Amino acid sequence: MNEHLDNKSYISVFLLLEFSAIRELQILHFFLFLGLYLITVSGNLLIIAAVVFDRHLHTPMYFFLMNLAIQDIGSVSVIVPKSMVNSLMNTRHISYAGCVVQVFGYLFFAGSDFFLLIVMAYDRYVAICNPLQYEMVMNRTACTKRVAAVWIAGFLYAVLHTGGTFATPFCSNVINQFFCEIPQLLTLACSNLYLETGVVVMSVIVAFSCFVYVVVTYVHIFTAVLRIFSVQGRKKAFSTCLPHLIVFSVFCVTPSFAYLRPLSNTPSHLDFVLTVLYTIVPPMFNPIIYSMRNKDIKKALSKLLGLRHSSGSLTTSIDM
The verdict on residue 53 lying in a domain is: yes
Closest CA to 127 of 62, 210, 213, 47: 62
Closest CA to 122 of 210, 214, 58, 224: 214
> What range does the domain containing 95 cover?
13-297
3-state helix, strand, coil in the chain (%, to 5): 70, 5, 25
Q: How many CA atoms lie within 13 A of 174 on its CB side?
A: 11
**Domain harbouring 181, CATH code:** 1.20.1070.10
Mean pLDDT of the region 286-300: 83
Rounded CA separation 66/300 (Å): 13
pLDDT digits (tens, 9 = 90+) for 29-62: 999 999 999 999 999 999 999 999 988 889 999 9
Q: What is the DSSP letter of 174?
A: B
pLDDT at 124: 92
Domain total in the chain: 1
Is the pLDDT at 305 greater than 70, yes or no? yes
The verdict on residue 208 lying in a domain is: yes
The verdict on residue 8 lying in a domain is: no
pLDDT at 220: 92
* CA angle, residues 130, 146, 46, in degrees to nearest 5: 95
Rg (CA), the chain: 22
* pLDDT band, very low/low/confident/very high, at 315 (cuts 50, 70, 90): very low
Q: What is the DSSP letter of 189?
A: B
Closest CA to 178 of 263, 271, 90, 40: 271
In sequence order, what E strands does the chain have? 13-15, 93-95
Average pLDDT, the chain: 85
The verdict on residue 4 lying in a domain is: no
Closest CA to 41 of 91, 11, 79, 93: 79
Q: Which residues pair with 95 in a beta bridge?
A: 13
The verdict on residue 92 lying in a domain is: yes
18-22 long-range contacts (CB < 8 A, ≥24 apart) are 18/92, 18/267, 19/87, 19/178
**Residues in the chain, total:** 320
Is the pLDDT at 200 greater than 80, yes or no? no
* pLDDT band, very low/low/confident/very high, at 311 (cuts 50, 70, 90): very low
The verdict on residue 55 lying in a domain is: yes
The verdict on residue 232 lying in a domain is: yes
pLDDT at 264: 65
pLDDT digits (tens, 9 = 90+) for 231-263: 888 888 888 888 888 888 888 887 776 667 776
pLDDT at 193: 66
* pLDDT band, very low/low/confident/very high, at 230 (cuts 50, 70, 90): confident
The verdict on residue 309 lying in a domain is: no
Closest CA to 11 of 98, 80, 72: 98
Classify residue 131 as exposed, middle or buried by CB count within 10 Å of its CB (0-12, 13-18, 19+).
Answer: exposed
Is the pLDDT at 289 greater than 90, yes or no? no
pTM of the model: 0.87
pLDDT digits (tens, 9 = 90+) for 58-111: 999 999 999 999 999 999 999 999 999 999 999 999 999 999 999 999 999 999
The CA–CA distances, whole Å, from 144 to 60, 78, 115, 286, 320 equal 9, 25, 14, 22, 10
